[in-house]
Amino acid sequence: SETPPRDFIRQIIASDLAAGRNDGRLATRFPPEPNGYLHIGHAKSICLNFGVAQEFGGECHLRFDDTNPVKEEQEFIDAIRADVRWLGFDWGVHEYYASDYFEQLYAWAEQLIGAGLAYVDDQSAEEIRQRRGTLTTPGQDSPWRDRSPAENLELFRRMRAGEFATGEKVLRAKIDMAAPNINLRDPVMYRILHAHHPRTGTAWCLYPMYDFAHGQSDAIERITHSICTLEFADHRPLYDWFIAQLNLFPARQYEFARLNLGYTVMSKRKLQELVAEKVVSGWDDPRMPTLVGMRRRGYPARAIRTFCERIGVGKSDNWIDYSVLEDCVREELNEIAPRALCVLNPLKVVITNYPADHSEIIEVPNHPQQPELGRRQLRFGRELYIERDDFMEDPPKKFFRLGPGREVRLRYGHVIRCDEVVRDAAGAVVELRCSYDPAPGERKIKGIIHWVNAVDAVPVQVRLYDRLFAVENPGRGGSDYRADLNPASIARIESALAEPALASAAVGQAWQFERLGYFCADPQPAADGRIVFNRTVTLRDSWAK
């Protein structure tokens, strides 16, 4: 038996295809505005739009919604293309730009003017806003609403020719100032903006608004299912109105719930501010919810796709816990990441009964369940480092690590007992004198701790991350979201020592540092040349609930 489609969008598509709508054709699009980098919310839309195209044998277009020249840049266009590819999707030949349709959109605007369905308004943006009315009161007609088509056409052509200043006039659709849906109260179609556009340069000083550009772009590309987030549900009557008045391909809009993720922000304006104000090191700071940030942090693309599948596609807004995303990352990394040893906060151990001129090569598997990930060699010797946290002077009974007179097993190595604690002049513990048991027999040793060899350990910098914001919904209730930043969202560990294999770690390659979490090498080494390892995620969910 066939499994039913897994969400309402897929149900709609399946039944449209079954009914032969659009000649059995499916076309979707992902329409980013190139005014910033893509974030995890965009990933939900990408996985949905490209995902259904793959599953149902359709096509998905990458369309840059570049209708606002002021905030758009080529850098963002390039980054978006790279991010969609990285996520694992391919738009083939279907790369489009709303700006390529400017001439056609302009012609359609003249057509609507000719039909008495659009007019040039001299009111300021503020006056238009004030006269728009409210949910309970109708709007007021503009004093310019009854201009003749001929006068409107002449003015509109002069607007295009650059005769008016930015903001001096707009073109509005002539629909109904008393419409219960405020979006239908003579919405603005065009505004004057004397600005340089990354693709059309100074060819235009007249730019279409989202509502006049989006549906028509969908129609031009013969998009069958135009999927967007719920905020646009109220715009759908307008989307349909333009398409009907212009008699275009009947693209249809469907709305799904956007992704809201706790302890972060996803508005591009806010992300841009975090970058501009140097709260983070850039769009790709590993704490950012951007795809470039997550990639640098070590999140595999597949884990993000799994996440988008797991959260599903619904019709009501909800909040997703960050731990859902981190669980997907952990599950993926557990499968693919080779294991390694690294000590963050080293405490020296000298094994007094181990000969100084001696060492042992231990061959160990890189992954406990994946023999194909190979094996590597560790060198055991007399002087080692363990994690400072793995020693307690006066440990409680259930502390199965090292303490005076206690025993522990060194991972892949020997069982050692702590015989003596060495202190500096200030009384701080600086070294443990231990002895190893060459023949521990069947004796049960509960604790196993990680270590590195003093002879070949590699100094590295390790960065541990916490959530970027201290509260689930930053800026809630209109407060400044910056006040909710977590001041401890990054910790740089300068003392870390890694096993030798990590000296040649490739950028982005995932590792599990045993007992510490998953890590990957950052593209940028530390100032002194040391490799920097970012902690991608801890081994278990450690966030306080």
Annotated binding site: 33-35, 39-45, 65, 210, 229, 258-259, 266-268
CA atoms within 13 A on the CB side of 498: 26
Q: Which of 33, 55, 154, 273 is the catalytic position? A: 33
- Nearest-10 crossing angle of helices 102-114, 236-246: 80
Does residue 151 have an active-site annotation? no
Q: How far is the CB of 469 from ligand ATP (least distance, A)?
A: 16
Q: Which residues bind ligand ATP (CB under 6 A)?
A: 31-33, 41-42, 44-45, 65, 228-229, 258-259, 266-268
CA 324-329-333 angle, to 5 degrees, is 150
Do 41 and 259 form a contact (C-beta atoms < 8 A)?
Answer: yes
Do 383 and 348 form a contact (C-beta atoms < 8 A)?
Answer: yes
Q: How far is the CB of 261 from ligand ATP (least distance, A)?
A: 8
Given Mg ion, ligand ATP, none, residue 289, with its beta carbon under 5 to 8 Å by kind, binds none
Do 273 and 468 form a contact (C-beta atoms < 8 A)?
Answer: no
**Kind and range of the H or E run holding 233:** none
| 72: exposed, middle or buried (Cβ count in 10 Å: 0-12, 13-18, 19+) | buried
Given ligand ATP, Mg ion, none, residue 229, with its beta carbon under 5 to 8 Å by kind, binds ligand ATP
Q: How far is the CB of 326 from Mg ion (least distance, A)?
A: 27
Given Mg ion, ligand ATP, none, residue 266, with its beta carbon under 5 to 8 Å by kind, binds ligand ATP
The residue (of 291 and 458) whose beta carbon lies closer to Mg ion is 291
The residue (of 31 and 381) whose beta carbon lies closer to ligand ATP is 31
The residue (of 209 and 259) whose beta carbon lies closer to ligand ATP is 259
Does residue 398 have an active-site annotation? no
Annotated binding site for L-glutamine: 65, 210
Do 52 and 8 form a contact (C-beta atoms < 8 A)?
Answer: no
- Nearest-10 crossing angle of helices 210-220, 236-246: 60
Do 189 and 216 form a contact (C-beta atoms < 8 A)?
Answer: no
* Measured torsion, CA atoms of residues 113, 117, 123, 125, in degrees rounded to the nearest 10: -110
Q: Which of 147, 172, 252, 268 is the catalytic position? A: 268
Given Mg ion, ligand ATP, none, residue 259, with its beta carbon under 5 to 8 Å by kind, binds ligand ATP
Show the tokens assigned to 408. 């522990």
- Nearest-10 crossing angle of helices 149-160, 102-114: 160
Q: How far is the CB of 46 from ligand ATP (least distance, A)?
A: 8
Does residue 258 have an active-site annotation? yes
Q: Which of 71, 81, 258, 388 is the catalytic position? A: 258
Do 156 and 120 form a contact (C-beta atoms < 8 A)?
Answer: yes
The residue (of 227 and 520) whose beta carbon lies closer to ligand ATP is 227
Q: Which residues bind Mg ion (CB under 5 A)?
A: 33
Q: How far is the CB of 33 from Mg ion (least distance, A)?
A: 5
Given ligand ATP, Mg ion, none, residue 235, with its beta carbon under 5 to 8 Å by kind, binds none
The residue (of 174 and 191) whose beta carbon lies closer to ligand ATP is 191
Catalytic residue set: 33, 258, 268
